[in-house]
Amino acid sequence: MDLKNKVAVVTGAAQGIGRAITLNLAQNGASVAVCDIDENLAEQTARELRETGFKAMACGLDVTRISSVEEMVKKILDKFDRIDILVNNAGITRDTLLIRMKDEDWDSVLNVNLKGVFNCTKTVSKVMMKQRVGRIVNIASIVGLMGNAGQANYSASKGGVIALTKTCAKELAGRNINVNAVAPGFIQTRMTDKLSDEIKNNYVKLIPLAKLGQPEDVANTVLFLVSDLSDYITGQVLKVDGGMVM
């Protein structure tokens, strides 16, 4: 899975799953653009990569604004001259029951999680179409497949990401651009660390492998999908959930 001479763009890359994906791609030879709405944190991650010998740059990015996405792409092309890999990872949650959900809770989650994927895919795919090659991986979620109480906005956004993935795969296949999605289950991050032990234990009971996933589990799946080993795979959703959804 050698990514030497490949340029990878990861959104929401400064922490959590996005950071794990970025590190993994860099460690396997890719030059990486660490893109995040927290530009200082993105620069910190990029600096750490450069200090250990990897090629990395940081970009402040608001995926909900097409102008911000276009500016990001321009900076990356100025630096690296091409984009081979796009990982749409940026996402937020605003969890509450449907009857209590405010309009802004719905709008903000759909804007970041779904419109953000649209903005980035639309912009970066133009570059890939000219190159006649590319790999796009969208980070969805198993709740986009099964739903989850208290996450009407999040599950709708991730279900939309899955449908968008399949459509983009069909539209872009003729230009040798593979588009796939990864649907993580219960992954141990700073967000899930805030949950009580009781809630975590209840989730583990639903997982056949009887353990929480790690960010690296998602990162390794992304690595496979952007490598040459997945050359004949497109329009698919790979679940990384310990068997939680079968």
- The one catalytic residue in 114, 154, 179, 217 is 154
> What is the three-class DSSP state of 95?
coil
- Which amino acid is located at 10 in the chain? V
Verify whether residue 154 is a known catalytic residue: yes
| Per-residue DSSP letter, 59 | E
Spatial CA neighbour of 33 closest among 51, 53, 6: 6
Measured distance CA(244)–CA(239) in Å, rounded: 9
- Which amino acid is located at 219 in the chain? A
Task: Work out the end-to-end distance of the chain between its first and last CA atoms, rounded to an integer number of angstroms.
Answer: 27
Spatial CA neighbour of 162 closest among 136, 187, 128, 139: 139
Which two tokens mark 219?
């990162």
- Enumerate residues 6+ apart whose C-beta is below 8 A from 161: 88, 113, 114, 117, 138, 139, 140, 144, 181
- Enumerate residues 6+ apart whose C-beta is below 8 A from 128: 83, 84, 86, 134, 136, 172, 175, 177
Residues belonging to the active site:
154
